[in-house]
Amino acid sequence: MPYGVTKVKGGYKVKNLNTNKKYSKNPMTKSKAETQKRLLDETYVKVLTPIQQSKLKAHAKFHSKKHMSEMERQMEQNGKSFTAAHKIATRKVGK
């Protein structure tokens, strides 16, 4: 996930590791910052690239709807690669 807790003067802040955007004006305790990071991580959804979408479409010819849904979920929510998502989906729901 693209969020991290960083130490700043007076406490901690949560920031986006890709853009360096900070998510609070004032420093907070480490436990509060970790809670905020956890909540941001839960709401983060990755958007699939056009290449990933075309790969999934071609791959769908050989697999069930349930398998494809699990792969898509793994890639979007958990940030898994195509291969990793395929292995997880195969173990979890089969072909």
Tokens of 75: 């890639």
H/E stretch holding 36 reads helix 30-43
Q: What is the dihedral of CA 74, 67, 87, 57, to 10 degrees?
A: -80
**Tokens encoding 26:** 């004032």
Q: What is the pLDDT of residue 48?
A: 84
Kindly report whether the global pTM for this prediction surpasses the value 0.75: no
> Where does the pLDDT of residue 88 fall: very low under 50, low under 70, confident under 90, or very high at 90 and above?
very high
